[in-house]
């Protein structure tokens, strides 16, 4: 219940969202592109792991701030167009 946690913003899991676009099939170019973009987010995320080879939470946040905004922006633009 959202009233129990007023300061928490729930966001959906991109893997669950991606599955819906995969269900659209390979022939849908928009769905295919959304899947590619979500995959790009995960590929960038898996380049480093906090705690491995001295990688810190702060470094991880800086890394995300470099790659994620452009990818998320393209996803948003595509979804706005589709809508």
Q: Is the pLDDT of residue 1 over 60?
A: no
**Length of the chain, in residues:** 83
CB 45 within 8 A of CB 67: no
Q: Which is more confidently placed, 10 or 1?
A: 10
Q: Among residues 79, 65, 9, 66, which one has the least CA distance to residue 37?
A: 79
DSSP character string of 4-58: G-TT------HHHHHHHHHHT-TT-HHHHHHHHHHHHHHHHHTT--TTSTT--HH
pTM to 2 decimals? Answer: 0.80
Tens-digit pLDDT profile for residues 32-83: 999 999 999 999 999 999 999 999 999 999 999 999 999 999 999 999 998 8
């Amino acid at each position: 219940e959202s009233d129990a946690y007023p300061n928490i913003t729930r966001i959906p899991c991109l893997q669950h969202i991606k599955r819906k676009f995969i269900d659209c099939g390979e022939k849908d170019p928009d769905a295919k592109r959304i899947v590619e973009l979500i995959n790009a987010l995960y590929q960038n995320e898996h380049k480093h792991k906090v705690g491995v080879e001295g990688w810190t939470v702060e470094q991880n946040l800086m890394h995300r701030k470099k790659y994620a905004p452009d990818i998320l922006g393209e996803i948003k633009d595509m979804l706005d167009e589709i809508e």
